[in-house]
Structure 1
Amino acid sequence: MSIALQFAQITVLDPQEALAFYRDALGLQVVNDVESGGHHWITLGSPEATSGQIVLSDPHAGRSQADGDALEELVAKGAMSPIVFTSDDVDAAFERVRASGAEVLQEPIEQPWGPRDCAFRDPSGNMVRILQDTPQPQTV
């Protein structure tokens, strides 16, 4: 049996505004762009990956008015779970995203639990982390 991530949903206040961050700053490619019933979904993926795409959508897409309102409030507060990407060069990724004007939360540092990582906020306030795994010492 095999299992792989197909999509991860990221709720954003404005999918078109978020697109500039995820496409231009992070380098993801648009796979699908759908507008329906006043809502907008944009699917993006890494040019190197065959699975694990993200879908940007507004808070009310596919939800009741009350649920969408509550989710919109959480997104606006920056209270959603972080989105974590990996890179083979976290320092270069950091410079690219910083150059886009994104809000920097943390410059690249070595974390005590292993990876070197950095953090930003997307235009909606979601925390986006980029990490680079550090080689673990091999035991014999």
Structure 2
Amino acid sequence: MGTVSFEGLVIFCADVEKSAAFYEGLLGLRRQSSDGDITLALPTKGNPEGAWLLLHKRHEGIDVTPHELGTFTVDDVDGLVERLRADGHRITSEPTDQPWGVREANVADPDGYTLTLSQPLPTASS
């Protein structure tokens, strides 16, 4: 078997600009290109330009069921959740300490895709 690597993720959006504003504002993702669709740089651990998130205009007849996109590590889950709530975004689960050593919350993007926001909990030696 050859080498496998993750390149990026495509999501189908009702309003590409609205979704781009959400991801740029929420996660600070940087726009790489825009030609009807919008590509955002999706940083990965150790590689700030590691992958991409392509926001593609959903066309009539395309049936897309929003799903969990993945986990994004942030500096302050509670602060970000409060900011998102104040901006009118739907929080699908409140910040909660998890037994695997992180504090997590979930938020829905403008199209209903769910993102997990994760913050490492301080260790006993910290």
TM-score band, normalised by shorter chain: 0.7 to 0.9
Q: Does the CA-based 8 Å contact 1:4-1:51 persist in structure 2?
A: no
Separation in 1 of the partners of 2:8 and 2:75? 22
Structure 2-normalised TM-score?
0.75
Q: For 1:50 and 1:120, how far apart are their aligned partners in 2?
A: 24
RMSD (Å) for aligned C-alpha atoms:
2.9
Structure 2 partner of 1:5? 6
Match of 2:34 in 1: 33
Q: What is the correspondence of 1:44-63 to structure 2 with a 5 Å cutoff?
A: 44-45=40-41, 49-60=48-59
The residue type equivalent to 2:58 in the other structure is P
Shift of 1:46: 5.2
Whose helix proportion is higher, 1 or 2? 1
Aligned partner of 2:49: which letter? T
Classify 1:99/1:4 alpha carbon distance in 2 versus 1 (closer, same or farther; 3 Å).
farther
Using a 3 Å threshold, how does the CA distance of structure 1 residues 135 and 28 change in structure 2: closer, same or farther? Answer: same
CA distance in 2, matches of 1:113, 1:45: 28
Distance across 2 between alignment mates of 1:134 and 1:81: 22
Which sections of structure 1, spanning at least 5 residues, go unmatched? 36-40
Q: Deviating runs (4+, > 4 A) in structure 1?
A: 1-4, 135-138
Partner SS state of residue 85, structure 2: helix
More strand, by proportion: 2
Query: Quick one: which of 94, 116, 120 aligns to 2:81?
Result: 94
Q: Is the 8 A contact 1:4 1:52 kept in 2?
A: no
1:25 counterpart letter in structure 2: L
The 5-angstrom pairing of residues 52-91 of structure 1 reads 52-60=51-59, 66=61, 68=62, 70-71=63-64, 74-75=65-66, 80-91=67-78
Unaligned runs of 5+ in 2: none
Shift of 1:34: 1.4
Residue 38 of structure 1: aligned partner: none
Instruction: Report % sequence identity.
Output: 31
